[in-house]
Structure 1
Amino acid sequence: MKLFRARSAVALVAATSFLLAGCAATTTEATSTTASCDGVEVVVNFGILDGTNSSQCIEITGSSAKAIDVVHDAGFSTEGTATYGDAIVCRVNGLPSPTEPVVVEGQAEFTESCADMPPAYAYWALWQKSSDAASWDYAQAGLGDLTVKKGESLGLVFTTGDSTPTPVVE
């Protein structure tokens, strides 16, 4: 039974890492977003949270960088969960607040503790796309393990309700 629980926990982390939302040192620099980004475009949409949406191109040294480093170099702080670390994004720039309730229509209010998995109706979704012309896809790894390449885009969207919107460039 313990083996089943351990395998279930590993499967849960793997599945939620790509549904929700660094090792190599990189040098990055923020530049304004244009139609084409020679680095990695970082898009953050706060949804119902009181944050400022952003889209910017982050230049990287080399051909790839850890996603968490690129997001931090774009000026965003992130916090993972106690259980899953940086595999799950719990907060971006301190949001959702650890002291103020999150209100999602049709759901019970809650205050995000970042102890475990966020609720399925209010979480940070991690998105990735391979080029300007590509479609957004759920990231296949958590922010702490994901590597992005020049020309790719990385998106964090605070998602509420039953559907998960893709990132919107502001």
Structure 2
Amino acid sequence: MKRTVTVLSGLTVSAALAVAAPAASAETAASAQAYDGICTGPDALTGTTVVIDFQELDGNGGTPAPTITRCSPDPTPATPRDGIETLQDAGIPVTGVVRWGLGFVCRLENRPSATETIPTDSDPTYQEACVNTPPAQAYWSYWHADGSGTTWTYSNWGAQNRDVIPGGFEGWSFSLNNGPTTNPWPEVTPRNPAVDP
């Protein structure tokens, strides 16, 4: 699988993900419309497939976390949706940070939990409190794809600042102790058969 990566420093990544919007609710409710797998049928070209890849969080602290692939149907196809709305419509619990709300995604599916030890290079006992921006060594990296091929692209924008692609993919991959060129992309091929290459 190919990927496109834009090289950013940890500080630039943090700045790129921040938004100037007012703080949003830290927890969001699940949508009953979402379903497992890529978007198909009437949702194939209007919905967006969401992929959550826990990477090193899988099994950390004794809590298995298999990769999630879920269709996020668009309740209003004529209206653009941002990445946070798409997570919410997919039924993915998302937690922001106290300081910036959902301008920074801190937890997806309640991972990493507040009591989960995340061994970063600078702090082997680090635990995420979701107060400020997660560190560049342990955060949810954000990716997207148009659904026509096999390439994920690292997002230079925070999820509230980017409209999703109908028929495309939104990817979230936990990055632990990686740099701008080694952040792992989601390990699901972002290919929607309904989208022409």
TM-score range (shorter-chain normalised) is 0.7 to 0.9
The residue that corresponds to 1:43 in the other structure is 51
Q: Distance in 2 between matches of 1:12 and 1:41?
A: 24
Q: TM-score, normalised by structure 2?
A: 0.65
Q: Distance in 1 between matches of 2:120 and 2:128?
A: 13
User: Does 1:53 pair with 2:57?
Assistant: no
Give matches, 1:52-131, under 5 Å.
Answer: 52-60=66-74, 61-63=76-78, 64-104=80-120, 107-131=123-147
- In structure 2, relative to structure 1, the CA distance for the partners of 1:14 and 1:130 (3 Å cut) is farther
Question: Percent identity of the aligned residues?
Answer: 27
Shift of 1:12: 6.9
SS at match of 2:140: strand
Compare 89-98 and 144-153 and name the one that shifted more: 144-153
Shift of 1:29: 3.0
SS at match of 1:131: coil
Say whether the 8 Å CA contact 2:73–2:89 is kept in structure 1. no
Please report the RMSD computed on the Cα atoms of aligned residues, expressed in angstroms. Answer: 3.0
Shift of 1:105: 6.7
Q: Distance in 2 between matches of 1:76 and 1:124?
A: 14
Say whether the 8 Å CA contact 1:28–1:70 is kept in structure 2. no
Q: Distance in 2 between matches of 1:134 and 1:48?
A: 22
Q: Distance in 2 between matches of 1:34 and 1:40?
A: 8
Q: Distance in 1 between matches of 2:95 and 2:16?
A: 19
- Tell me the matched-pair count: 154
Q: Distance in 1 between matches of 2:164 and 2:54?
A: 21
Runs of 4+ off more than 6 Å: none
Per-residue deviation, residues 75-127 of structure 1 (Å, max 9, x unmatched): 21111122232221111121111123213478522010111121222110011
SS at match of 1:29: coil
Say whether the 8 Å CA contact 1:44–1:53 is kept in structure 2. yes
Per-residue deviation, residues 133-167 of structure 1 (Å, max 9, x unmatched): 16211223222332213122101111112221111
The residue that corresponds to 2:9 in the other structure is none
Structure 1: runs of 5+ lacking an equivalent: 1-10
Per-residue deviation, residues 57-91 of structure 1 (Å, max 9, x unmatched): 22213143222121122221111122232221111
Structure (1 or 2) with the greater strand fraction: 1
User: Does 1:15 pair with 2:31?
Assistant: no
Shift of 1:129: 1.4
SS at match of 2:81: strand
Partner of residue 149 from structure 2, selected from 127, 130, 133: 133
SS at match of 1:144: helix
Structure 2: runs of 5+ lacking an equivalent: 1-11, 25-30, 58-62, 190-197
Say whether the 8 Å CA contact 2:113–2:128 is kept in structure 1. yes
Which letter does structure 2 place at the counterpart of 1:40? Answer: T
Shift of 1:40: 0.5
Q: TM-score, normalised by structure 1?
A: 0.74
Q: Distance in 2 between matches of 1:13 and 1:35?
A: 31
Q: Distance in 1 between matches of 2:176 and 2:130?
A: 17
